[in-house]
Amino acid sequence: MTSRKRITKPFVLPAVKTPRKRKEAKIVDQHVQKVTHQYAVRFPEHEARETDPHYLDFDHIRREWEKDPTKWQCHIGQRRQDFSECDLVNPLELHHAHIEFALMNAVDLKWLAADYPGVDDPEKLGAWVNSAENLWVLCRFHHRGHGGAHVASSSDFEGLKYVRGLII
Protein backbone atom coordinates (compact mmCIF):
# COMPACT_ATOMS: atom_id res chain seq x y z
CA MET A 1 0.00 0.00 0.00
CA THR A 2 1.31 3.33 -0.91
CA SER A 3 0.62 6.18 1.34
CA ARG A 4 -0.61 9.34 -0.17
CA LYS A 5 0.16 12.65 1.24
CA ARG A 6 -2.96 14.55 2.05
CA ILE A 7 -2.90 18.05 0.69
CA THR A 8 -4.80 20.52 2.76
CA LYS A 9 -5.38 24.15 2.14
CA PRO A 10 -4.47 26.45 4.94
CA PHE A 11 -7.44 27.73 6.93
CA VAL A 12 -8.12 31.35 6.13
CA LEU A 13 -10.44 33.46 8.21
CA PRO A 14 -13.09 35.20 6.17
CA ALA A 15 -12.56 38.88 5.68
CA VAL A 16 -14.12 40.88 8.45
CA LYS A 17 -16.01 43.90 7.28
CA THR A 18 -15.45 46.93 9.35
CA PRO A 19 -18.79 48.18 10.56
CA ARG A 20 -20.02 51.25 8.77
CA LYS A 21 -20.76 54.23 10.83
CA ARG A 22 -24.51 54.11 11.35
CA LYS A 23 -26.49 57.19 10.54
CA GLU A 24 -28.41 58.63 13.39
CA ALA A 25 -32.05 57.52 13.19
CA LYS A 26 -34.40 60.23 12.06
CA ILE A 27 -37.91 60.31 13.42
CA VAL A 28 -40.79 61.36 11.21
CA ASP A 29 -43.42 63.24 13.15
CA GLN A 30 -46.98 61.97 13.22
CA HIS A 31 -48.82 63.25 10.18
CA VAL A 32 -51.95 62.80 8.10
CA GLN A 33 -51.53 61.89 4.46
CA LYS A 34 -54.41 62.10 2.03
CA VAL A 35 -54.64 58.97 -0.11
CA THR A 36 -56.69 58.62 -3.27
CA HIS A 37 -57.11 55.34 -5.14
CA GLN A 38 -58.84 55.29 -8.47
CA TYR A 39 -59.11 52.29 -10.73
CA ALA A 40 -61.68 50.35 -12.72
CA VAL A 41 -62.90 46.85 -11.88
CA ARG A 42 -64.06 44.53 -14.66
CA PHE A 43 -67.00 42.55 -13.30
CA PRO A 44 -67.85 39.39 -15.25
CA GLU A 45 -71.37 38.69 -16.42
CA HIS A 46 -73.43 37.50 -13.45
CA GLU A 47 -76.98 36.94 -12.29
CA ALA A 48 -78.85 39.74 -10.62
CA ARG A 49 -78.62 39.38 -6.85
CA GLU A 50 -82.38 38.95 -6.54
CA THR A 51 -82.42 35.88 -8.80
CA ASP A 52 -79.30 34.19 -7.41
CA PRO A 53 -80.38 30.74 -6.19
CA HIS A 54 -77.89 30.99 -3.32
CA TYR A 55 -79.27 34.29 -2.05
CA LEU A 56 -81.53 32.20 0.19
CA ASP A 57 -78.39 30.88 1.93
CA PHE A 58 -77.07 34.43 2.39
CA ASP A 59 -80.41 35.63 3.75
CA HIS A 60 -80.74 32.59 6.03
CA ILE A 61 -77.29 33.21 7.56
CA ARG A 62 -78.11 36.88 8.04
CA ARG A 63 -81.39 36.07 9.82
CA GLU A 64 -79.77 33.41 12.03
CA TRP A 65 -76.78 35.56 12.95
CA GLU A 66 -79.05 38.51 13.78
CA LYS A 67 -80.57 36.34 16.53
CA ASP A 68 -77.15 35.63 18.08
CA PRO A 69 -75.52 38.69 19.70
CA THR A 70 -72.13 36.94 19.74
CA LYS A 71 -72.22 36.69 15.93
CA TRP A 72 -74.18 39.83 15.03
CA GLN A 73 -71.49 42.40 15.75
CA CYS A 74 -68.90 44.12 13.61
CA HIS A 75 -66.03 41.76 12.78
CA ILE A 76 -63.46 44.53 13.33
CA GLY A 77 -64.90 45.60 16.69
CA GLN A 78 -65.19 41.96 17.74
CA ARG A 79 -61.53 41.25 16.85
CA ARG A 80 -60.43 44.28 18.83
CA GLN A 81 -62.94 43.79 21.65
CA ASP A 82 -63.51 47.51 21.13
CA PHE A 83 -66.40 48.97 19.14
CA SER A 84 -65.46 52.63 19.68
CA GLU A 85 -64.67 53.16 15.98
CA CYS A 86 -67.71 51.25 14.72
CA ASP A 87 -70.83 52.83 13.28
CA LEU A 88 -73.35 51.97 15.98
CA VAL A 89 -76.17 54.04 14.45
CA ASN A 90 -76.81 52.26 11.14
CA PRO A 91 -77.74 48.58 10.79
CA LEU A 92 -74.98 45.99 10.51
CA GLU A 93 -74.28 44.48 7.08
CA LEU A 94 -72.94 41.19 5.73
CA HIS A 95 -69.76 41.40 3.69
CA HIS A 96 -68.42 38.79 1.28
CA ALA A 97 -64.96 38.67 2.84
CA HIS A 98 -62.98 36.73 0.22
CA ILE A 99 -64.99 36.46 -3.00
CA GLU A 100 -67.72 38.93 -3.89
CA PHE A 101 -70.93 37.54 -5.35
CA ALA A 102 -70.42 39.52 -8.57
CA LEU A 103 -66.97 37.95 -9.15
CA MET A 104 -68.02 34.30 -8.93
CA ASN A 105 -68.11 33.68 -12.66
CA ALA A 106 -64.49 34.75 -13.12
CA VAL A 107 -62.90 32.94 -10.15
CA ASP A 108 -59.99 30.64 -10.96
CA LEU A 109 -61.07 27.66 -8.87
CA LYS A 110 -57.53 26.24 -8.68
CA TRP A 111 -56.30 29.48 -7.08
CA LEU A 112 -59.27 29.62 -4.72
CA ALA A 113 -58.88 25.96 -3.69
CA ALA A 114 -55.23 26.62 -2.78
CA ASP A 115 -56.47 28.87 0.04
CA TYR A 116 -59.83 27.18 0.64
CA PRO A 117 -59.40 23.44 -0.01
CA GLY A 118 -62.48 21.74 -1.39
CA VAL A 119 -63.81 24.87 -3.10
CA ASP A 120 -62.96 23.74 -6.61
CA ASP A 121 -66.33 22.65 -7.95
CA PRO A 122 -68.09 25.32 -10.04
CA GLU A 123 -71.46 23.85 -9.04
CA LYS A 124 -70.67 24.44 -5.34
CA LEU A 125 -69.00 27.84 -5.65
CA GLY A 126 -72.22 29.85 -5.28
CA ALA A 127 -73.09 28.08 -2.03
CA TRP A 128 -69.57 28.71 -0.66
CA VAL A 129 -69.63 32.40 -1.64
CA ASN A 130 -72.79 32.81 0.46
CA SER A 131 -71.58 30.62 3.33
CA ALA A 132 -70.35 31.53 6.81
CA GLU A 133 -66.75 30.88 5.68
CA ASN A 134 -66.96 33.78 3.22
CA LEU A 135 -69.13 36.20 5.21
CA TRP A 136 -68.28 38.79 7.86
CA VAL A 137 -70.65 41.03 9.76
CA LEU A 138 -69.44 44.62 9.47
CA CYS A 139 -70.75 47.97 10.62
CA ARG A 140 -71.39 50.45 7.81
CA PHE A 141 -68.10 52.30 8.43
CA HIS A 142 -66.02 49.10 8.19
CA HIS A 143 -68.05 47.86 5.20
CA ARG A 144 -68.86 50.76 2.86
CA GLY A 145 -67.60 53.83 4.73
CA HIS A 146 -64.33 55.59 3.91
CA GLY A 147 -62.54 53.10 6.19
CA GLY A 148 -64.41 50.13 4.84
CA ALA A 149 -63.49 46.94 3.05
CA HIS A 150 -65.00 48.28 -0.19
CA VAL A 151 -63.24 51.65 -0.05
CA ALA A 152 -59.87 51.46 1.73
CA SER A 153 -56.95 49.67 0.11
CA SER A 154 -56.46 46.11 1.27
CA SER A 155 -53.32 46.98 3.22
CA ASP A 156 -54.98 49.96 4.90
CA PHE A 157 -58.07 47.92 5.77
CA GLU A 158 -55.85 45.20 7.24
CA GLY A 159 -53.90 47.83 9.17
CA LEU A 160 -57.02 49.38 10.71
CA LYS A 161 -57.65 46.09 12.50
CA TYR A 162 -54.59 46.87 14.61
CA VAL A 163 -54.13 50.65 14.54
CA ARG A 164 -56.65 52.87 16.30
CA GLY A 165 -57.73 55.87 14.23
CA LEU A 166 -55.75 54.83 11.14
CA ILE A 167 -58.35 55.94 8.62
CA ILE A 168 -59.95 59.27 9.48
- Residue 71 domain flag: yes
- Residue 77 domain flag: yes
Burial tier of 140 (Cβ tally within 10 Å: 0-12, 13-18, 19+): middle
Model's pTM, two decimal places? 0.77
Tens of pLDDT, residues 127-144:
999 999 999 999 999 999
Q: What is the pLDDT of residue 31?
A: 85
Which band of pLDDT confidence, cut at 50, 70 and 90, is reported for residue 21?
confident
- Residue 33 domain flag: no
- Residue 140 domain flag: yes
Burial tier of 51 (Cβ tally within 10 Å: 0-12, 13-18, 19+): exposed
Interatomic CA distance for residues 40 and 46, integer angstroms: 17
Structural domain containing residue 134 = 53-160
pLDDT beyond 80 at 6: no
Interatomic CA distance for residues 46 and 48, integer angstroms: 7
Tens of pLDDT, residues 144-156:
999 999 999 999 9
Q: What is the pLDDT of residue 51?
A: 84
- Residue 89 domain flag: yes
- Residue 45 domain flag: no
Tens of pLDDT, residues 72-130:
999 999 999 999 999 999 999 999 999 999 999 899 999 999 999 999 999 999 999 99
- Residue 73 domain flag: yes
Q: 3-state DSSP call for residue 123?
A: helix
Number of folded domains that form the chain: 1
Which band of pLDDT confidence, cut at 50, 70 and 90, is reported for residue 61?
very high
- Residue 128 domain flag: yes
Which band of pLDDT confidence, cut at 50, 70 and 90, is reported for residue 29?
confident
Q: What is the pLDDT of residue 71?
A: 95
In sequence order, the 6+-apart residues with CB closer than 8 A to the CB of 144 are 93, 150, 151
Interatomic CA distance for residues 128 and 17, integer angstroms: 56
Burial tier of 15 (Cβ tally within 10 Å: 0-12, 13-18, 19+): exposed
